[in-house]
Structure 1
Amino acid sequence: MKRIDLNCDMGESFGPWNMGADAEVMPWITSANVACGFHAGDPSIMRRTVVLAAESGVAVGAHVGLPDLAGFGRRAMALSAQQVYDLAVVQIGALSAVARTQGVKVMHMKPHGALYHMVERDEDLAKALARAVYDIDASMRLLGRSGGRLVACGQQLGLSVAHEAFADRRYLSDGHLVPRGERGAVIEDVNIAAAQAVKLAEEGAVETVDGTLLSLRADTICVHGDRHDAVAFARLMHQQLRASGVELRSTEH
């Protein structure tokens, strides 16, 4: 039986400001990437999200982002490899401490937004991010772009890795995502997005914007929790994958 992890970025609210529908999406996913206060989230939100995940039997991971609350971590920054290492250590460490108070272990790390793409362009940054995970807990799994630089750097260190694909994003023929600023980068129709998830799970392939078929390893598929229809999106993808005979569980199990 084919296995797929459904991961979702969560805990992205901040103070009285609410982002996403975490409680409603949680039943349909298997891994939660919890914002650690740099691009989104705050200490109380982190704790509540960890508790929610634990109650739902969902694996907890650190969603490490750039220090950019105003830009939601989606603006690239000029950072050295040491700075990337340091910000990752602080964020993973903070979430690990919060999780420990709730009897939960942080099982994986996934970079957010601009950082996700920065490490794919710069090998030194990718090595620094992978090294931060390794130095904190070498048993932690590293999530990154399928076939990308980050997972390769993680494997070189001996880390377990999960190749990530996206159901609701368009792909270029080189395996990169169409930049968010370009028209059609996000698949708005949940039925089309769910069909793409099933194709990824069953065939390990996705149709690119130029119509070619791209082979893509998909250990885990991202559920974007900040969509306006996130609950319907997560539920439909969960149901259609299950109906196709795909087993849904986190990469840690």
Structure 2
Amino acid sequence: MTDPGVVPPNWGFYMGDETKRRRYCKMCNVWKPDRTHHCSICNRCILNMDHHCPWINNCVGFYNRKFFIQLLSYVYLSLIIVVFFTMPEMYTRSMELTRSPNKYGESTYFCLETVFLTLAFCMATLLICTLTNFIKFHMKLVLENYTTIENLEREEGAKSKFDIGRRRNWEQVFGQNPWMWWLPLHTQASRPIGDGVRWRVHYTRVIDEDEELPADEEGMSQASRLLNQGNASANRSTR
């Protein structure tokens, strides 16, 4: 499986960043960028970690989230094909049973074949119903620029500060080339936009979030203090 992405060696933080961004992982001994979380199963910090998937035995993160959604879509399409081709066969067999009720007793092979066909149809239908909601959930997260972990922590009706518009949110995961969106390729044109460390943010939501941070000793948040310092410098330069 494609590597989800880990914190680059010797990555740190820039002075002036928000206090809450200075998160340190004691397990990996690295500073964690925004949206990075430590996976206890993989035992490493994953960039833009969505979740650890037991079905692929790997974390879903910045560099392989696209492939995870593609996998779901391919499986979904395969199940639809199974249902599409088994329905006519099941109809034909039901008609044969109506015309010849003793056919199943006369042919063991025909009976077993029908049982397996019915099981395949039922399982495919059940999985389609399950995957429909699962795919819709992950598509919604991509368009709103949330991860599964962030979605668990979000307040009702809240929007992500990383939400920069549906088109750009989508391109952060699937890349800018529409022809590559559904191809399992890891080329330069099909890679997600960014590096998984630095993130574009919605300015007004960052300000709103900053106002909710606890004040420091001077009664101001870190961002407010920096803003005031910048205004003071600008005033001095105009005198």
TM-score by length of 2: 0.28
Q: In proportion to residue count, which structure has more helix?
A: 2
Which one has the largest radius of gyration? 2
Identify the structure with bigger relative contact order (alpha carbons < 8 Å, sequence gap 6+): 1
The structure that is strand-richer by fraction is: 1
